[in-house]
């Protein structure tokens, strides 16, 4: 029976103006529910709760699992035009729309959609630019929505604990603060366009080898100070609607049925109000998962869809969950909570009231413009030396002074490389070139190039020079061509994909990646370097690359997987129309043997995080191993100086670090000024950690004061006894510089009181 409230006329009128779930509005005196709150979070909660109260158990169950994989033709039925990774049907009688979701690491992964392939997320991270990350998230969301998807499955934030991880290109490097900050900015951009953002894969899913069976063994303090900190910042600052739990076990418990990760930390401590969604087939139980905090099973129940030989997909959240709820082993309150989370997320992020419909057209002009901008801002100039007999560094190239350029290798005559797996972005119509040398039966094991040929863009920059192309398959021929040219530009690639790890960080060869590579890239570069007057290497890759030839080349430009405008961006950077400003979000080691995990075992499924807190640059710093290029490193065509460092605690308990950056060269540029903290000794911490940065655009000769405010958490350690962040009293060194190993970095100390 509905209890009627009698309220005065004025309040009733207001209630009728704002509430969607009121009964009896207009009768002047009575309603069946209080007015909805105006705060958007509280309002979404209230609207969702009202819907949950009206759903049958069967309808609730329908909302907590998917119905297969549209793009694989598994399960269904799906609405016409839905072709992504998953779909949850709605409940029409209550106006609850269906929700289509698609992968979206660096663009929408839906074939024939003409979605924009932006540079890979690792490239975005190299921009260190939260504003760009926001635009990246917004662009992808705009395209998701136009194509009919209300949820994007991009947003990988796993840290590069193991840089040979085949998904390194989908993530944002090795630092939790850089990754978490950019993740939050991306999420905010996505959700502002009324698309639910996902961050994934929660957690400690840091390699692909045995990804579905491996057990990440890692102590609590290490987790909290490394990868979980990236998630913490991403969740608390970005408030994504969706967190995808991962395939692996964490300390012996599947991530998707891990109460510590899903409930203790994510929901209770971080206050996550959205949906915990399993990675595709990462649900392994009904009761344990539901009670641990899993809210949605994907791909869910494929029902009567076509079967794939050898693949059985068990659904745990359809009939099995119904039985568990009926039996009381999963309380109805827990099922209600799952549905509440789903509906409040759909309401809060705009896909409930304005559900996207398939069939729209992607604005490729807008997409290409952002793709170009991100590629220009994310490439990293790693080396720029003066060739013998010259007075200037080899870059930027001066078209007027060059009569011959030879471009060598890596299909630079047709396009730029992209990464594989669910993080791939299918090329727009007519824009793909397969790099397969020996096509494997599974298309996903083949590299794809987008038709954005560096050769074409280089020719356009140097119209009066003879610009030739040599494919690189014959190192002797390439070296001979290089010997005759003013400058040789060698392109080199490293293809990686979800589902497997790289055997080495060495550039792949015809031996180590025979599917995609028909020659030995290191041998090619060395042969060319031995003959060329000037030689520049351009890298297209997702993970760090070893460079045994580094001492023999003059320039190295790291372009990552540069997206659909990559060829143009590379030429803009090589010729100085754009001044490089990216910096490495990941350490480039000298050799594989310098990595914390010497090799990735194919057979031992226990992945022990034995390096503890010493992950990424913290490992090289702590072990005093010289990297090839340190975290945070990147050159420019101008130069910068840092001065006047000051660090002090402000009234709110933040430490504010100020200093001045000056452009001391002759070109405009943008400098990423980095701030690290060395914690008091005796805490077992690595020598330093990134705590903030600012990217400053400076004209030649211009100075700007930089001010970086550092929250106490970023200076804290995790107290694994009391399970809290702890700010330790003592002297902190605040270090401001151009990289994590800047010999000219400034240091100031600040004494903090512990709490
Ligand atoms: C991947 C996820 C992806 C999902 C749906 C899984 O294999 O790990 O990142 O979102 O597939 O395509």
Spatial separation of the C-alpha atoms in residues 420 and 436, rounded to whole Å: 13
Residue 433 clears pLDDT 90, i.e. is over it: no
Residue 638 Cα to ligand 1 midpoint, Å, equals: 42
For the CA atoms of 375, 378, 380, 381, the dihedral, rounded to the nearest 10 degrees, stands at 60
Query: What was the pLDDT predicted at 515?
Result: 84
CB 74 within 8 A of CB 68: yes
Query: Could you tell me the CATH superfamily of domain 379-608?
Result: Glycoside hydrolase family 3 C-terminal domain (3.40.50.1700)
CA 500 vs CA 69, 138, 211, 602, 642: distances in Å? 21, 30, 9, 10, 42
Query: What was the pLDDT predicted at 632?
Result: 99
| 677: nearest Cα among 686, 666, 664, 690 | 690
Residue 218 clears pLDDT 90, i.e. is over it: yes
* Domain over 638-752 is classified CATH 3.40.50.620: no
Q: What H or E segment, with its residue span, contains residue 131?
A: helix 130-147
Q: Nearest C-alpha to atom 4 of ligand 1 is from which residue?
A: 280
Q: Would you state the structure tokens that stand for residue 234, as one six-digit string?
A: 């991403």
CB 190 within 8 A of CB 140: yes
Cis amide prior to 396 (ω within 30 degrees): yes
Query: What was the pLDDT predicted at 12?
Result: 32
- Whole-number average pLDDT of the chain: 93
Query: What was the pLDDT predicted at 651?
Result: 80
Residue 280 Cα to ligand 1 midpoint, Å, equals: 6
Would 57-307 and 638-752 be classified into the same CATH topology? no
In tens, the pLDDT along 647-703 reads: 999 888 899 999 999 999 999 999 999 999 999 999 999 999 999 999 999 999 999
Q: What is the DSSP code (8-state) at residue 679?
A: P
Query: What was the pLDDT predicted at 29?
Result: 43
In tens, the pLDDT along 373-406 reads: 999 999 999 999 999 999 999 999 999 999 999 9
Residue 153 Cα to ligand 1 midpoint, Å, equals: 8
**Rounded to a whole number, what is the distance in angstroms from the first to the last CA of the chain?**
53
| Residue 36 zone, left/alpha/beta (φ > 0; ψ -120 to 50; rest) | beta
Query: What was the pLDDT predicted at 427?
Result: 85
Residues in CB range of 124: below 8 A, 6 or more apart: 106, 118, 132, 133, 136, 172, 182, 186, 374, 378
Beta carbon of 412 within 6 Å of any ligand 1 atom:
no
Q: What H or E segment, with its residue span, contains residue 142?
A: helix 130-147
In tens, the pLDDT along 248-259 reads: 999 999 999 999
Q: Nearest C-alpha to atom 7 of ligand 1 is from which residue?
A: 280
For 145, counting Cβ atoms within 10 Å of its Cβ (0-12 exposed, 13-18 middle, 19+ buried), the class is buried
Query: What was the pLDDT predicted at 18?
Result: 33
Atom of ligand 1 nearest to the CA of 211: 8
In tens, the pLDDT along 104-146 reads: 999 999 999 999 999 999 999 999 999 999 999 999 999 999 9
In 203-271 the beta strands, taken as DSSP E runs, fall at: 215-217, 242-245, 249-250, 253-254
Which of 103, 170, 426 most suits a substitution to test ligand 1, by most atoms within 8 Å of the C-beta? 103
Residue 421 Cα to ligand 1 midpoint, Å, equals: 8
Q: Give the residue-averaged pLDDT of 563-574.
A: 98
Which of 75, 85, 106, 168 most suits a substitution to test ligand 1, by most atoms within 8 Å of the C-beta? 85
Q: Give the residue-averaged pLDDT of 459-465.
A: 98
Beta carbon of 422 within 6 Å of any ligand 1 atom:
yes
Q: What are the backbone dihedrals phi and psi of residue 695, each rounded to the nearest 5 degrees, phi first?
A: -100, 120
In tens, the pLDDT along 135-183 reads: 999 999 999 999 999 999 999 999 999 999 999 999 999 999 999 999 9
Residue 4 binned pLDDT confidence (cut-offs 50, 70, 90): very low
Spatial separation of the C-alpha atoms in residues 189 and 137, rounded to whole Å: 5
Residue 430 clears pLDDT 80, i.e. is over it: no
Residue 10 clears pLDDT 50, i.e. is over it: no
Query: What was the pLDDT predicted at 311?
Result: 60
Residue 24 binned pLDDT confidence (cut-offs 50, 70, 90): very low
Residue 423 Cα to ligand 1 midpoint, Å, equals: 8
CB 515 within 8 A of CB 534: no
Spatial separation of the C-alpha atoms in residues 124 and 181, rounded to whole Å: 12
Q: Nearest C-alpha to atom 8 of ligand 1 is from which residue?
A: 279
Query: What was the pLDDT predicted at 303?
Result: 79
Q: Nearest C-alpha to atom 3 of ligand 1 is from which residue?
A: 422
Handedness of CA 488, 489, 494, 495 (dihedral sign): negative
In tens, the pLDDT along 587-646 reads: 999 999 999 998 999 999 999 999 999 999 999 999 999 999 999 999 999 999 999 999
Query: What was the pLDDT predicted at 440?
Result: 53
**b/e map 377-393, b = 16+ CB within 10 Å:** bbbbbbbbbebeeeeeb
Catalytic positions are 279
pTM above 0.85, yes or no: yes
| 707: nearest Cα among 660, 640, 669, 652 | 660
Query: What was the pLDDT predicted at 735?
Result: 98
Q: What are the backbone dihedrals phi and psi of residue 451, each rounded to the nearest 5 degrees, phi first?
A: -75, 80
CA 453 vs CA 207, 469, 740: distances in Å? 32, 11, 34
Residues in CB range of 212: below 8 A, 6 or more apart: 247, 248, 281, 282
Spatial separation of the C-alpha atoms in residues 18 and 34, rounded to whole Å: 10
Q: Give the residue-averaged pLDDT of 5-22.
A: 32
Spatial separation of the C-alpha atoms in residues 33 and 613, rounded to whole Å: 52
Residue 75 clears pLDDT 80, i.e. is over it: yes
Beta carbon of 280 within 6 Å of any ligand 1 atom:
yes
Beta carbon of 36 within 6 Å of any ligand 1 atom:
no
In tens, the pLDDT along 300-339 reads: 998 755 555 656 678 999 999 999 999 999 999 999 999 9
Which CATH architecture fits 57-307?
Answer: Alpha-Beta Barrel (3.20)
Beta carbon of 125 within 6 Å of any ligand 1 atom:
no
Query: What was the pLDDT predicted at 76?
Result: 83
Residue 17 clears pLDDT 60, i.e. is over it: no
| Residue 550 zone, left/alpha/beta (φ > 0; ψ -120 to 50; rest) | alpha
Beta carbon of 459 within 6 Å of any ligand 1 atom:
no
Residue 267 Cα to ligand 1 midpoint, Å, equals: 22
Q: What H or E segment, with its residue span, contains residue 642?
A: strand 640-649
Residue 27 clears pLDDT 70, i.e. is over it: no
Q: Nearest C-alpha to atom 11 of ligand 1 is from which residue?
A: 280
| 489: nearest Cα among 537, 528, 521, 540 | 537
Q: Where are the domains of the chain?
A: 57-307, 379-608, 638-752
High-pLDDT (> 90) share of the chain, %: 88
Spatial separation of the C-alpha atoms in residues 396 and 304, rounded to whole Å: 60
């Amino acid at each position: 029976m509905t209890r009627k409230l009698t309220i005065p006329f004025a309040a009733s009128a207001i209630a009728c103006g704002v509430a969607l779930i009121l009964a009896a509005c207009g009768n002047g005196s009575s309603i069946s529910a209080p007015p909805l709150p105006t705060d958007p979070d509280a309002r979404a909660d209230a609207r969702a709760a009202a819907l949950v109260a009206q759903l049958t158990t069967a309808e609730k169950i329908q909302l907590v699992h998917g119905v297969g994989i549209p793009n694989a033709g598994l399960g269904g039925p799906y609405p016409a035009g839905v072709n992504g990774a998953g779909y949850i049907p709605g409940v029409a009688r209550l106006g609850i729309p269906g929700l289509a979701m698609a992968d979206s690491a660096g663009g929408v992964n839906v074939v024939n959609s003409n979605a924009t392939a932006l540079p890979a997320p690792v490239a975005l991270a190299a921009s260190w630019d939260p504003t760009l990350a926001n635009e990246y998230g917004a662009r992808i969301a705009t395209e998701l929505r136009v194509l009919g998807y209300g949820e994007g499955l991009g947003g990988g934030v796993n840290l590069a604990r193991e840089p040979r991880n085949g998904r390194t290109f989908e993530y944002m490097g090795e630092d939790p603060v850089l990754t978490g900050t950019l993740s939050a900015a991306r999420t905010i951009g996505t959700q502002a366009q009324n698309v639910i953002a996902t961050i994934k894969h929660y957690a400690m899913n840091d390699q692909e080898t045995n990804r579905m069976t491996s057990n990440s063994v890692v102590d609590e303090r290490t987790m909290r100070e490394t990868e979980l900190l990236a998630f913490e910042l991403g969740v608390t600052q970005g408030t994504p609607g969706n967190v995808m739990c991962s395939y692996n076990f964490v300390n012996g418990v599947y991530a998707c049925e891990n109460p510590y990760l899903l409930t203790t930390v994510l929901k209770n401590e971080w206050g996550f109000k959205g949906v915990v969604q399993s990675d595709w087939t990462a649900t392994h139980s009904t009761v344990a998962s539901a009670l641990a905090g899993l809210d949605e099973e994907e791909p869910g129940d494929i029902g009567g869809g076509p079967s794939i030989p050898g693949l059985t997909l068990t659904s745990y959240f359809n009939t099995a969950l119904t039985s568990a709820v009926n039996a009381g082993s999963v309380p109805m309150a827990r099922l209600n909570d799952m549905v509440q989370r789903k509906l409040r997320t759909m309401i809060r992020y705009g896909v409930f009231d304005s559900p996207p419909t398939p069939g729209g057209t992607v604005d490729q002009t807008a997409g290409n413009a952002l793709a170009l901008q991100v590629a220009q801002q994310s490439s990293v100039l790693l080396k720029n030396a003066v060739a013998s007999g010259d007075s200037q560094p080899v870059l930027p190239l001066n078209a007027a002074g060059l009569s011959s350029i030879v471009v060598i290798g890596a299909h630079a005559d047709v396009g730029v490389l992209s990464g594989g797996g669910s993080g791939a972005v299918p090329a727009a119509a007519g824009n793909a070139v397969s790099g397969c040398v020996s096509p494997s039966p599974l298309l996903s094991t083949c590299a794809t190039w987008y038709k954005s040929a560096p050769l074409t863009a280089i020719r356009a920059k140097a119209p009066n020079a003879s610009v030739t192309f040599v494919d690189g398959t014959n190192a002797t021929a390439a070296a001979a061509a290089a010997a005759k040219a003013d400058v040789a530009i060698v392109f080199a690639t490293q293809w990686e994909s979800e589902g497997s790890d790289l055997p080495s960080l060495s550039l792949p060869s015809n031996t180590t990646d025979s599917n995609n590579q028909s020659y030995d890239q290191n041998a090619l570069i060395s042969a060319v370097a031995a003959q060329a007057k000037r030689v520049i290497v351009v890298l297209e890759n997702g993970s760090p690359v070893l460079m045994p030839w580094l001492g023999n080349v003059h320039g190295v430009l790291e372009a990552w997987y540069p997206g659909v405008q990559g060829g143009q961006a590379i030429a803009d950077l090589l010729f100085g129309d754009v001044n490089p400003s990216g910096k490495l979000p990941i350490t480039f080691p000298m050799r594989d043997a310098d990595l914390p995990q010497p090799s990735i075992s194919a057979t031992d499924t226990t992945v022990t995080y034995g390096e503890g807190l010493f992950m990424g640059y913290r490992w090289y710093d702590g072990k005093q191993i010289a990297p090839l290029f340190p975290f945070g490193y990147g050159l420019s065509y101008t130069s910068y100086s840092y001065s006047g460092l000051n660090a002090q605690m402000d009234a709110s308990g933040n430490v504010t670090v100020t200093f001045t950056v000056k452009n001391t060269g002759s070109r405009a540029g943008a400098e990423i000024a980095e701030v690290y903290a060395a914690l008091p000794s005796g805490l077992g911490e690595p020598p330093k950690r990134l705590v903030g940065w600012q990217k400053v655009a400076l004209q030649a000769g211009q100075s700007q004061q930089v001010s970086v405010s550092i929250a106490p958490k970023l200076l804290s350690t995790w107290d694994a006894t009391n399970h809290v962040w702890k700010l330790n009293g003592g002297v902190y060194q605040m270090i401001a510089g151009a990289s994590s190993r800047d010999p000219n970095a400034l240091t100031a100390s600040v004494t903090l009181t512990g709490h």
